[in-house]
Amino acid sequence: MSLDYVKVSPGFGKYVAKEYRDFVEHGPFGKQVSVTQVGTFKEALDEHPMCAGCAMTLFLRLAIISFPNPEDTITVGTAGCGRLVLSQAVIPFVYGNYGDTNAVASGLKRGLMTRFPDKPKDVVVLAGDGGLADIGFSMMMHSWFRKEKFTTIMLDNEVYGNTGGQESGMTNRGAVLKMAPLGKKFDKIAMPELAKTAGCAYVAVVVPNNPKRVENAIKKAVLIAREVGPTYIQAYTSCNIEYAIPTEKVMEDAFTVEKDRYQFTEYITEEAKEYLATKWGYKEYQKKELKPAEVKA
């Protein structure tokens, strides 16, 4: 991968679609862009086939904008709604079998580190709660135990939204769904706590109603994963279809859920703090008043 792979060969410019030319000339590759600049550059994700009002699509759009170096990033996903978006972005996407995303990402990251020892190549897993907390649980946990250097982002819509509404390990206790008519019988899996226990250097819980916060979390997670170790972000991305949330109420739901049970939290190890402060200039991690290994908004 390099910036050259999107450039138009000399003499072919007038034959290439205008959308592609716009991306080459005004896209985010090779630049430092922010969610606060949306509308001033050509995004790596233009269109998608998702449901109207889908919070997951909004989050994925923010995530792709937030990658520190999108031209040197590969995303890994699996069956689920998210791959419908990721496969249409102007960023290499690897489709793994259901449950093996973190195993695929492990091999991919190791290969890239061998092939490009002097240039960071970021690997980011973006998959749903079913593909990670349920079917992919073992491979996800063991990638963390092995200290694989990539970021895992869970698109937590708290249901198997792509296959009809089955409960997942991330569904809340008591939730009644089309394919869980008696309500879920056990609590939501505490994945952030498991991520900390398994050795992740950075763990954050976010909701997409605060784009800048999402951007900061993803940038830090990807940067830390380059040299320190595995990082994990859990994002609430409601399924407005399975939970019957009106399209115009999706963000209102996100605000309510954030207030009630999905508060923003950020965990960071001392090694990761030092790395961010010295290598990337994140001065907030040098302030003495912050609690050890934890920062909250």
pLDDT confidence band for 9 (50 / 70 / 90): confident
pLDDT at 296 over 50: no
What confidence category does residue 275 fall into, taking pLDDT thresholds of 50, 70 and 90?
very high
pLDDT in tens, 225-273: 999 999 999 999 999 999 999 999 999 999 999 999 999 999 999 999 9
pTM beyond 0.85: the answer is yes
φ/ψ of residue 224, rounded to 5: -65, -40
Residue that is written with structure tokens 């309500």 in the block: 183
Bridge partners (DSSP) listed for residue 234: 154, 205
Helix (H, G, I), strand (E, B) or coil at 109: helix
- Predicted confidence (pLDDT) at residue 290 exceeds the cutoff of 80: no
* pLDDT at residue 50, as a whole number: 87
Indicate the domain borders of the chain.
3-295
Task: Give the CATH number of domain 3-295; options: 3.40.50.720, 3.40.50.970, 1.10.150.530, 1.10.3720.10.
Answer: 3.40.50.970
Q: What is the pLDDT of residues 181-234, one digit of tens each?
A: 999 999 999 999 999 999 999 999 999 999 999 999 999 999 999 999 999 999
Q: For a pLDDT cut of 90, what percent of the chain falls above it?
A: 75
Compute the distance between CA of residue 194 and CA of residue 101 in angstroms, rounded to an integer. Answer: 18
Q: What is the dihedral of CA 142, 148, 149, 155, to 10 degrees?
A: -20
What would the pLDDT profile of 71-86 be if each residue is shown by its tens digit?
999 999 998 888 889 9
Task: Inform me whether the pLDDT recorded for 174 exceeds 90.
Answer: yes
Q: Give me the pLDDT at residue 288, please.
A: 47
Cβ–Cβ < 8 Å for 105, 132: no
pLDDT greater at residue 296 or residue 152: 152
